[in-house]
Amino acid sequence: MSASQEYFEEKEKIDFLLYRGFRVTRVTENLDGAAVEFERTGAAGQEKEVLHLQTADARKYFSSILFHQQRNLTPAE
C-alpha cells in the first residue's frame, strides 16, 4: 500500500471519530508512530478509542487538530 493511501485511511479514521464527537485526550509517541486516545462523554457514559497512527502526515494532521482543540478551550481575551 502506498504511503498516501495509508495517510488517507488514517485521516478518515480520525475524521470519523471527530465527527462522532470524540476529542483527543492523550498522545503517546514512539518509534513506530503515535497512539492517540480519543474520548467522548455521551448517553452511554464515557467512551474511549485508541488509534495507532504510523504515517508522518497523519501525525501532523492530528497535531493540528490538537492545537485547535487547545485553542478553543482557552478563554477568549
The pLDDT of residue 69 is 86
Q: How far apart are CA 71 and CA 28, in angstroms?
A: 21
The pLDDT of residue 77 is 45
Q: How far apart are CA 25 and CA 40, in angstroms?
A: 9
Q: How far apart are CA 5 and CA 28, in angstroms?
A: 23
* Average pLDDT per 10 consecutive residues for the chain, totaling 77 residues: 89 95 92 93 88 93 89 61
